[in-house]
């Protein structure tokens, strides 16, 4: 089913609002099918492309960045004819008994997730951390990895930019001033207005406490010493102008994963699949088709 597209607040006809309402879904992102699932008693939203392939052997589970939803991968639509793209949105709340990272690992691996026995993973930023942790915990289930702006250790990312990313949770009216700037910094100059609006709107679904808990995951987790254990085809796609995960950090991750390939999109920032979809889709599509055939 499609999620409802609500009118923009105040009836403004020109461009997306500075801070969209929760259900104000932008053009280019509103047409995806949404399948709500309950896994371990927590809600998961799974977005898919209408008319895309249903071949389970070509499944790619896409895990978004901090505060984003699976809908942020909407620019991957040209790949849906040949790849079964499942755009996964983690539960909006995680129980106090688990860290968000451990809870999401358990949710992904649970039978109620209805994922096939084996699949590829594409993870962006925080989603890359989850993807690497899942591949280390369940190597038998992962066919290939695409890591976008990979986060494997906080020592490899810029703390100032990480702090800046929390400002999308600022209370109104401050959010109206800060949130578009944060999204613009993360997305770079190439991120269109509807992409910035998508990031800001979706981040507002999370409670400040849940966002803080996910940030703590990033600060506390260091997978660098275990990356050599990965024995799965891996492509790392990095924006050359990323202010959060600098290119040298992506090079570092690539050196630690045996056989990993690093591709740099020079004009892109932290969200290359949203800002430079043609270049991103060419890289990711060729790699995934090669390893899912």
What is the reported pLDDT for 213? Answer: 84
Hey, what are 34's tokens?
A: 């949404």
- Measure the CA angle with vertex 61, ends 118 and 2; round to 5°: 130
What is the reported pLDDT for 8? Answer: 37
59-63 and 261-265 strand pairing: unpaired
**What are the angstrom distances between the C-alpha of 66 and each of 6, 37, 199, 211?**
24, 20, 10, 8
Q: 149-171: b or e for each residue (b if 16 or more CB lie within 10 Å)?
A: bbbbbbebbeeebbebbbbbbbe
Hey, what are 143's tokens?
A: 């066919």
CA distance 8 to 23: 9
Sequence-separated (6 or more) residues with CB below 8 Å from residue 118? 140, 141, 142, 143
What is the reported pLDDT for 224? Answer: 92
β-bridge partners, 236: 147, 262
CA distance 32 to 150: 26
CA distance 133 to 10: 43
What residues does each domain of the chain span?
22-292
Which run of H or of E encompasses 107?
helix 100-109
**For every one of its 293 residues, what pLDDT tens digit does the chain have, with 9 covering 90 and above?**
545 333 333 333 344 444 555 567 888 898 999 999 999 999 999 999 999 999 999 999 999 998 889 999 999 999 999 999 999 999 888 999 999 999 999 999 999 999 999 999 999 999 999 999 999 999 999 999 999 999 887 665 655 455 555 555 555 544 545 556 667 777 888 898 888 888 888 877 777 788 778 888 888 889 999 999 999 999 999 999 998 888 999 999 999 999 999 999 999 999 999 999 999 999 999 999 999 97
Closest CA to 25 of 85, 79, 70: 70
Hey, what are 71's tokens?
A: 């809908």
Contacts 24+ apart (CB under 8 A), 173-178: 175/19, 175/204, 176/18, 176/19, 177/18
Torsional class of 67: left (φ above 0), alpha (ψ -120 to 50), beta (otherwise): left
CATH, domain 22-292, list 3.40.50.1820, 1.10.3720.10, 3.30.360.10, 3.40.50.300: 3.40.50.1820
Assign 3-class secondary structure to 146-195: EEECCCCEHHHCCHHHHHHHHHHHCCCCHHHHHHHHHHHHHHCCCCCHHH
Is the peptide bond prior to 47 cis by the omega test (within 30 degrees of 0)? no
């Amino acid at each position: 089913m499609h999620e409802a597209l609500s009118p923009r607040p105040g009836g403004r006809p020109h461009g997306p609002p500075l801070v969209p309402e929760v259900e104000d879904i932008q053009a280019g992102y509103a047409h995806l099918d949404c399948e709500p699932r309950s896994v371990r008693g927590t809600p998961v939203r799974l977005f898919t492309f209408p008319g895309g392939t249903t071949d389970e052997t070509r499944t790619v589970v896409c895990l978004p960045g901090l505060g984003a939803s699976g809908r942020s991968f909407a620019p991957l639509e040209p790949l849906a004819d040949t790849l079964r793209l499942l755009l996964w949105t983690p539960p909006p709340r995680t129980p106090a008994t688990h860290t968000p990272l451990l809870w999401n690992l358990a949710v992904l691996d649970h039978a109620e997730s209805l994922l096939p026995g084996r699949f590829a993973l594409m993870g962006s930023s925080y989603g890359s951390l989850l993807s690497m942790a899942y591949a280390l915990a369940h190597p038998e289930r992962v066919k290939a990895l695409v890591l976008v702006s990979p986060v494997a250790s906080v020592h490899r990312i810029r703390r100032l930019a990480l702090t800046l990313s929390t400002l999308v949770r600022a209370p109104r009216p401050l959010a109206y001033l800060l949130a578009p700037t944060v999204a613009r910094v993360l997305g770079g100059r190439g991120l269109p207005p509807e992409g910035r609006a998508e990031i800001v709107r979706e981040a507002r679904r999370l409670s400040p406490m849940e966002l803080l808990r996910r940030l703590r995951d990033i600060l506390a987790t260091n997978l660098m010493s275990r990356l050599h254990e990965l024995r799965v085809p891996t492509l790392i796609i990095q924006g050359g102008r990323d202010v959060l995960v600098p290119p040298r950090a992506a090079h570092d991750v690539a050196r630690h994963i045996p056989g990993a390939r690093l591709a740099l999109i020079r004009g892109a920032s932290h969200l290359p699949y949203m800002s430079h979809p043609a270049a991103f889709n060419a890289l990711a599509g060729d790699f995934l088709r090669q390893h899912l055939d």
